[in-house]
Amino acid sequence: MKTWKDCVLAAKQEVKLLQVHEVKMMMDKKEDVVLIDVREREEYEQGAIPGANLVPRGVLEMTIEEQIQDRTKRIVLHCAAGGRSAMAAQSLKNMGYQNVASMEGGFRGWAQAGYPIKKA
């Protein structure tokens, strides 16, 4: 029987993982990328990465097609630490999204690096 950690490790082996500084560079260069925060609204309201779109993990698969029709669009997902976003990236990959990545370290890593945070 698999545990949550087993599932996260498996997802991280299947999806592209980006480090916090790599995502920051993408944002600074204004690259064509959609940054999706898969945390819950309460987490997002306590602080978020500027430019990130909130799509909680629980509704991601149900709503992603309305938001992003182009399955070749570059998408970077993040959560608090990297587990939920890895699972979410794996799910989007299984749905046919071709350019999906998860940000390792998540929002915590972003904040610890001293990068900008917005309050909702």
**What is the pLDDT at residue 120?**
66
Per residue in 50-78, pLDDT (tens digit) is 999 999 999 999 999 999 999 999 999 99
Which residue from 74, 82, 80 is spatially nearest to 48, judged by alpha carbons? 80
Q: For the whole model, what pTM was predicted?
A: 0.95
Give me 55's structure tokens.
């799509």
The answer to whether 68 touches 76, Cβ cutoff 8 Å, is: no
> Residue ranges of the domains in the chain?
4-112
Name the pLDDT band for 114 (thresholds 50, 70, 90): very high
What's the pLDDT tens digit per position in 97-113?
A: 999 999 999 999 999 99
Say yes or no to pLDDT of 83 above 70. Answer: yes
Fold of the 4-112 domain: Oxidized Rhodanese; domain 1 (3.40.250)
pLDDT at 119 exceeding the cut of 90:
no
CA contacts within 13 A on the Cβ side of 87: 17
Contact 71, 30 (CB under 8 A): no
